[in-house]
Amino acid sequence: MINDFGERRALLTDFYQLTMAYGYWKTGKCNDEAVFNLFFRRFPFNGAYVIACGLEQLIAHVVDFRFNHDSLEYLSVLQNSAHNNIFERDFIKYLRDLRITCDIDAIPEGSLAFTAEPMVRVKGPLLQCQLLESALLNIINYQSLIATKAARICVAARGPVFEFGLRRAPGPDGALSASRAAYIGGCCGTSNVLAGKVFGIPVKGTHAHSWVMAFGSESESFDTLAQMLPDDCILLVDTYDTLAGVERAARIGEVMKTRGVRLSGIRLDSGDIAELSCKAREILDRHGLIDCRVVASNELDEYQIASLRQRGAMVDYWGVGTRLVSGYDEGALSGVYKMSAIRTVGNDWNYKLKITGSPEKATCGGLPLVRRYLLNNLYWGDMVFDEQLGPGNVMVMSDGSRLAVPDNATGEELLQPIFRKGKLVYDSPRIENIRERTFTELCRLPEEMLKLEPTMVYPVGKDENCAELNKRLAIQYHG
């Protein structure tokens, strides 16, 4: 399935995107120009930020987007409830030659993102913008969710975290995406060997309980592994009795020292991690293994890690799996993809605004861009402004209050050019550089926003002209 996916990339869409595209083609609107914005409505995990992630896969999707022969054959025989072909033959021919020619701007991976501001902006032929929607949301929503979860876990741990979630991830493709996003979010490595090969992420691992049970004794299994992997030996000590296992591991560590190597660590995977880690540390130190690390796993997340640290757990490394790659307990990022402007070729933009009975679902009309302000080496706030009107000096907040940009704040444009007329103009950084960007970005947030239960909301508002524009649009469309 993984190897087969790229050849059918254009079919990674919801069916109604294709029926709308067909409608645009039939009515002559397929070449009308549109602007769509991908943004999210609320923070996951009751947090205060999101780590943008998935841009590299978004780029691959756009570059390789095409309907191959196999995909077109499938679409050509789809039938409606009256047993007639849904799509005309000429539309199938149109899809055969279709290539993406849009302008796409996006927040660089590893950047902080906040509600109600575009993470990705797509401008180009209406039909193409529509066909990109589902795949872009699939890619950005999931990877940004997992990168954010990883960042929260790493902040709580205040030490190295490894991602061990392959066996609990949502399928092979999800496992690859999760490993990549977790590394960008701050994890030090992954157990997923394929992710190591594909993305260059450091691979880490210990052994399973079955290794211990495969030998006549726990000590024999430990000694065998120590001789086999003398430079990177971490022993899982809770197959039978945890503290007895630590004692046996410590004795193996003493033997290893006589061989000129050292025991790298022991892993705790059950029981009261706080209590057991402290007792394990005492045993290891008593045997002179002060540089032997204690690794903890067992269904951990940021809340459990914070609680264990508060109880004085003597843990050096954390292994996190299920609750990281599943995005527990959120499920999905609330990302959406909405039109904000449309025009026929050569004419002025007609700004669009979605108005609904749910105020939180209202959108921003126009050609939105985002400027982020830095003050005293910390992020001060984000201003959404219209491309044609430009940014001002005052932000209008969602409650109607106004916030003046400080004179000594420096601003930078958040959305970066990725494609122009379908041509890639962006050089993707190495994954290590993206991960470093995440760390730098988090260091620029006030401490109050990094808490598991943040006590501060990051200021995001519209420029005065943009706010007035959207007010007029609301009156126009809603009365």
Q: What is the mean pLDDT of residues 112-124?
A: 97
User: Residue 166: which residues within 8 A CB-CB, separation 6 or more?
Assistant: 175, 179, 190, 191, 192, 321, 325
User: Is residue 118 predicted with pLDDT exceeding 50?
Assistant: yes
Residues 373 and 380 sit within 8 Å (Cβ to Cβ): yes
User: Residue 333: which residues within 8 A CB-CB, separation 6 or more?
Assistant: 40, 44, 50, 140, 141, 142, 144, 145, 148
| Residue scoring higher pLDDT (99 or 355) | 99
**Distances 172 to 167, 168, 179, 190, 271 between C-alpha atoms, Å:** 9, 10, 11, 14, 30
Residues 320 and 306 sit within 8 Å (Cβ to Cβ): no
pLDDT band at 372 (very low <50, low <70, confident <90, very high): very high
Euclidean distance between CA atoms 301 and 309, whole angstroms: 12
User: Is residue 479 predicted with pLDDT exceeding 70?
Assistant: no
User: Is residue 185 predicted with pLDDT exceeding 50?
Assistant: yes
Euclidean distance between CA atoms 214 and 234, whole angstroms: 17
Euclidean distance between CA atoms 211 and 137, whole angstroms: 41
pLDDT at 359: 58
Residue among 402, 381, 361 nearest 449 (CA):
381
Residue among 124, 104, 186 nearest 149 (CA):
186
User: Is residue 7 predicted with pLDDT exceeding 70?
Assistant: no
pLDDT at 477: 79
Euclidean distance between CA atoms 177 and 394, whole angstroms: 39
Q: What is the mean pLDDT of residues 253-279?
A: 97
Amino acid symbol at 5 = F
Residue among 158, 150, 474, 417 nearest 313 (CA):
158
| CATH architecture under which domain 148-325 falls | Alpha-Beta Barrel (3.20)
* DSSP-assigned beta bridge partners for residue 317: 295
pLDDT at 190: 98
Q: What is the mean pLDDT of residues 270-285?
A: 98
- Say if residue 103 is preceded by a cis peptide, omega within 30 of 0: no
* DSSP-assigned beta bridge partners for residue 384: 370, 462
**Distances 406 to 113, 309, 409, 410 between C-alpha atoms, Å:** 21, 39, 5, 9
Euclidean distance between CA atoms 124 and 243, whole angstroms: 64
Residues 323 and 300 sit within 8 Å (Cβ to Cβ): yes
User: Is residue 3 predicted with pLDDT exceeding 80?
Assistant: no
User: Is residue 62 predicted with pLDDT exceeding 60?
Assistant: yes
Backbone angles phi, psi at 261, to 5 degrees: -125, 175
Q: What is the mean pLDDT of residues 102-130?
A: 97
Q: What is the mean pLDDT of residues 138-144?
A: 97
Calculate what percentage of the chain has a pLDDT beyond 90. Answer: 92
**What is the chain's percent helix, strand, coil content, to nearest 5?**
40, 20, 40
Calculate what percentage of the chain has a pLDDT beyond 70. Answer: 97
Euclidean distance between CA atoms 148 and 52, whole angstroms: 8
Give the 3-state secondary structure of residue 330. coil
pLDDT at 358: 61
Per residue in 149-178, pLDDT (tens digit) is 999 999 999 999 999 999 999 999 999 999
Q: What is the mean pLDDT of the chain?
A: 95
User: Is residue 1 predicted with pLDDT exceeding 50?
Assistant: no
Euclidean distance between CA atoms 301 and 161, whole angstroms: 11
Euclidean distance between CA atoms 177 and 169, whole angstroms: 9
User: Is residue 4 predicted with pLDDT exceeding 80?
Assistant: no
**H-helix or E-strand containing 18?**
helix 15-26
Per residue in 408-462, pLDDT (tens digit) is 999 999 999 999 999 999 999 999 999 999 999 999 999 999 999 999 999 999 9
What are the boundaries of each domain within the chain?
A: 1-28+66-99, 148-325
Query: What residue spans of 269-366 are helical by DSSP H?
Result: 273-286, 302-310, 322-325
